[in-house]
Chain A
Amino acid sequence: NAGVTQTPKFQVLKTGQSMTLQCAQDMNHNSMYWYRQDPGMGLRLIYYSASEGTTDKGEVPNGYNVSRLNKREFSLRLESAAPSQTSVYFCASSEGLQHPSDTQYFGPGTRLTVL
Chain B
Amino acid sequence: AQSVTQLDSQVPVFEEAPVELRCNYSSSVSVYLFWYVQYPNQGLQLLLKYLSGSTLVESINGFEAEFNKSQTSFHLRKPSVHISDTAEYFCALLRGGQNFVFGPGTRLSVLP
Q: Give chain A's interface residues, CB within 8 Å of chain B.
A: 4, 33, 40-45, 48, 58, 90, 92, 97-98, 100-109
| A40-B9, A42-B90, A101-B32 known; A106 vs B44 contact (CB < 8 Å) | yes
Cβ-defined contact, B49 with A103, below 8 A: yes
Query: Which of A45, A101, A106 is the one whose CB lies under 8 Å from B45?
Result: A106
The contact sample of 6 A-B pairs, CB cut-off 8 A, is A42-B4, A90-B44, A100-B97, A102-B94, A103-B49, A106-B45
Q: Give chain B's interface residues, CB within 8 Å of chain A.
A: 4, 9, 32, 34, 36, 41-46, 49, 51, 90, 94, 96-100, 102-105
Give the chain A neighbours of B34 by CB distance below 8 A: 103
Cβ-defined contact, B97 with A98, below 8 A: yes
Cβ-defined contact, B102 with A42, below 8 A: yes
Which residue of chain B lies nearest to A98 when distances are taken between CB atoms in the complex?
Answer: B97
Give the chain B neighbours of A4 by CB distance below 8 A: 43
Cβ-defined contact, A100 with B96, below 8 A: yes
Give the chain A neighbours of B99 by CB distance below 8 A: 33, 45, 48, 58, 97
Closest CB-CB distance, A9 to chain B, in whole Å? 9
